[in-house]
Amino acid sequence: MTTEDLLATCWTTAGDAAPGRPDQRSPLTLRERVEAAGSAGYKGFGLLYADLVEAERPYGLSGIRSLFEDNGLVHIELELLTDWWADGAPRAASDAVRLELLRAAEALGARHLKIGPDVENRPWELDLWAEEFAALAAQADGVGARLGIEFLPWSNLKTVHDGLRLVEAAGHPAGGLIIDVWHTERAHTPPADLASVPASRIVGVELNDADSEVIGTLFEDTVRRRRLCGEGSFDLTGIISALRTAGWTGPWGVEILSDTHRALPVREAAEAAYRTAATVLK
């Protein structure tokens, strides 16, 4: 249906799991999820840190890598590191996760690591964040991966322009952006703005859709009511065209988060997300 590779981001195959819950771990085994993704046609797979820890117990990192390879999944994304800019106890906890993600990225041959901004939107200093981001990008580069930060419209990095300002200030070639189209649409960023993002600064792209009106908070809307590609209000044709103009050729992430999606059997969920994303890419 498409010659471009698709990557099933972590929530797309997680089943009844979601951001914001006390325990974000998927109730499904990694094998169930990976086999569902491979069967649907994906060439990439995203794994949340909590699920990585859970999967390493029975499989080991070498077993996880073999599972990916056996199912044709060659683009691996690991997430999500937060508080990488902080100090005190939050930073200590973040650094422990950082070390584990870097270790796993090297062992799994991960394509990139995803990190987050400050979702509490507190005052922040660009110079400090740029320094910390550059250091982390260098560490990711050292294990053969790139570093991507995902901007969120309720965070301190609300738009693609905010995110680009940070990664350009950091200046490390391994650092860049994760562009989730839900976040660009909810921030009212026109597709034309995406066409001007330097290709070297795009680490990942995530496709999805949604209704025109936000219900509840932005966080509630993004976690509970995303739609499959082509089933909402987004100008996905224009967005994809703009990203291709910028130089992006994939892998295209597919990130579907909704109450409806979580209730589906994982193979059905993975196939529906793949099919609809491949259709809009065609």
If you write DSSP's letter for every residue of 63-75 in order, what string do you get?
A: HHHHHHHHTT--E
* pLDDT at res. 2: 58
* pLDDT at res. 273: 98
Give me the count of residues in the chain.
282
Cα pseudo-dihedral 135, 137, 143, 144, rounded to 10 = -150
* pLDDT at res. 140: 98
What SS3 state is found at 241?
Answer: helix
Residue numbers of the chain with a pLDDT score lower than 50 = 1
Collect all residues with Cβ–Cβ distance below 8 Å to 3 and sequence separation of at least 6.
none
CATH number for the region 6-281 comes to 3.20.20.150
176 and 147 in contact (C-beta within 8 Å)?
Answer: yes
Sign of CA dihedral 188, 18, 262, 282: positive
- Token pair, residue 243, equals 């990203």
For the entire predicted model, the pTM comes to: 0.97
* pLDDT at res. 3: 75
Rg (CA), the chain: 17
Q: How far apart are CA 275 and CA 277, in angstroms?
A: 6
Q: Supply the DSSP symbol for 231.
A: S
For the chain, the domains span: 6-281
